[in-house]
Structure 1
Amino acid sequence: MKYRTVLFDFDGTLMDTSRGILYCAKKTISDLGFEIPDDAALRKFIGPPLKLSFMGVCGMDDEQATRAVQHYRERYAEKGMLEADIYPGMEKLLKSLGEGGVTCAVASVKMEKIVRKTLAHFGLTDYFDAICGAPEDVNIKGKEAIVREAVSRTDSKPEDCLLVGDSDYDAKGAEAAGIDFCAVLWGFGFSKMEDAAQFTCRYIAEDVPTLERFLLK
């Protein structure tokens, strides 16, 4: 195996969570009296820390964005978190990695308790040795700390680890934490090779079968 430990981003990498995220983002923005942005702008809510998205996409100030995050999380816990689908072939890949002795973990900027509930609902929990997400604090700004926590919880060494993710937040978090990064193009961040190639990538996977070949062969 190329890596002893593989960390997976959640939104846009393991699961297509767009339906729930976009519904809750629109509902929150409307409830707080802001104009709902176009679809292209709304997609920026998938992946990055929520507070940064409310500030960057909607122009909210710090206090407004903090309130928006809390409002969003209430709606997401009620309905949005289960409006998701695991990407085709991903469960097969996780099973193959486990059978090959690879340690798998989740590293997400989504609240950890929500990640755990969603994985449990879809029957995916047992594939992971660690599930690491954001704390209750709404002020998380990046992914480095979460990646480091995932490395620690799996008792791994940084040089043995790879983070698989779909966005610049993942790429920057992996680099800051001192581990390798593999970009994927099926999520909501990188849409083409050129987007991912701007960052330090060990590999760029166009689809799940391509990622499986890279990790297992």
Structure 2
Amino acid sequence: MDITTILFDLDGTLVDSAQETALILNQMRSERGYPPLNISFFREKISHGAPALIECALDFCEERTADLINEFRLKYKNITTPESSLYPMVKNTLNELKKRNLKLGICTNKPENLCNKVLKDTGIIPYFDSVISQTPSMKLKPNPEPVNAALTQLETTAKNTILVGDSTVDQRTCQATNIPFIFFKSGYNDGIVSNQIYASITHISELLDFNIFSVNTLKTNT
């Protein structure tokens, strides 16, 4: 079985967004008279999404969660995600994968405007043939709809695709779509089931060490 397509999660897989997330939420805490939280608090919870993260970080607030989410996203839109937020060797790896004629896609639950901004800020948007993110009409992972939309855009099938991610949401998405799950161990692991992964990597550049065009060869690296 030949692999022609790689789908990537964004936060915790290509981009370490914990620093920006902590900065914004600690600012929101400070504005309400509360002390900052350690960045480790945010790393542990980022995979659960903004609503859950905000409910934990601002649990003392009487304001509506929806209002807090809107405030958080507005602040996020107004900051720059530096290229240094990319995990090591991400840009070089994406460049090399494109040279090997692989189709690359993003499949994230991040809102569309913030996803596109992060991709542009970090300089990696040109590498992707498809970007699927949160929109009013799109269901969120682990629902298979985002991945299926990416496969349609990329004119490929699940049997020719792998997905690289760091969370149980990504793992469950792969189970729902019958796509091999490549676990990025340096991300925000929120309880990955280790016997249900296809392969694991510590650095994105390790994808280049696999014979990425063959699932059978890839499987020997688990």
> Does 1:183 pair with 2:183?
yes
Q: CA deviation at 1:168?
A: 1.1
Partner of 1:159: 159
Q: CA deviation at 1:82?
A: 4.4
Q: Which amino acid aligns with 1:106?
A: I
Asked if structure 1 preserves the Cα contact closer than 8 Å seen for 2:83 and 2:121, the reply is: no
Change (3 A) 1:39 1:159: same
Q: Secondary structure at the match of 2:44?
A: helix
Q: CA deviation at 1:10?
A: 0.7
Change (3 A) 1:118 1:90: same
Partner of 1:64: 64
Select the structure of larger CA radius of gyration. 2
Query: Which of these residues, 192, 198, 201, is aligned with residue 202 of structure 1?
Result: 198
Q: CA deviation at 1:84?
A: 5.3
Distance 2:50 2:140 in 1: 9
Segment drifting more, 80-89 vs 94-103: 80-89
1:134-153: CA deviation from partner (whole Å, max 9, x where unpaired): 1258x976443322322222
Partner of 1:13: 13
Q: CA deviation at 1:72?
A: 0.3
Distance 2:69 2:211 in 1: 36
> Does 1:171 pair with 2:167?
no
Q: CA deviation at 1:212?
A: 2.3
Q: CA deviation at 1:32?
A: 5.7
TM-score (norm 2): 0.80
Unaligned runs of 5+ in 1: none
> Does 1:111 pair with 2:111?
yes
Asked if structure 1 preserves the Cα contact closer than 8 Å seen for 2:6 and 2:163, the reply is: yes
Q: CA deviation at 1:107?
A: 0.9
Percent identity reads: 21
Distance 2:129 2:148 in 1: 15
Distance 2:62 2:154 in 1: 35
Query: Which of these residues, 194, 208, 214, is aligned with residue 210 of structure 2?
Result: 214
Partner of 1:94: 94
TM-score (norm 1): 0.82
Q: Secondary structure at the match of 1:16?
A: coil
Distance 1:199 1:27 in 2: 40
Aligned CA RMSD, in angstroms, stands at 3.0
1:4-50: CA deviation from partner (whole Å, max 9, x where unpaired): 11001111111122211111122234446777555433223423321
Alignment of 1:6-155 (within 5 A): 6-31=6-31, 37-55=37-55, 58-59=58-59, 64-79=64-79, 81-82=81-82, 85-135=85-135, 142-144=141-143, 145-155=145-155
Number of matched pairs: 212
Change (3 A) 1:73 1:82: farther
1:164-194: CA deviation from partner (whole Å, max 9, x where unpaired): 011111111221233221001111226xxxx
Distance 1:58 1:2 in 2: 47
Segment drifting more, 117-126 vs 88-97: 117-126
Distance 1:62 1:47 in 2: 24
Unaligned runs of 5+ in 2: 214-222
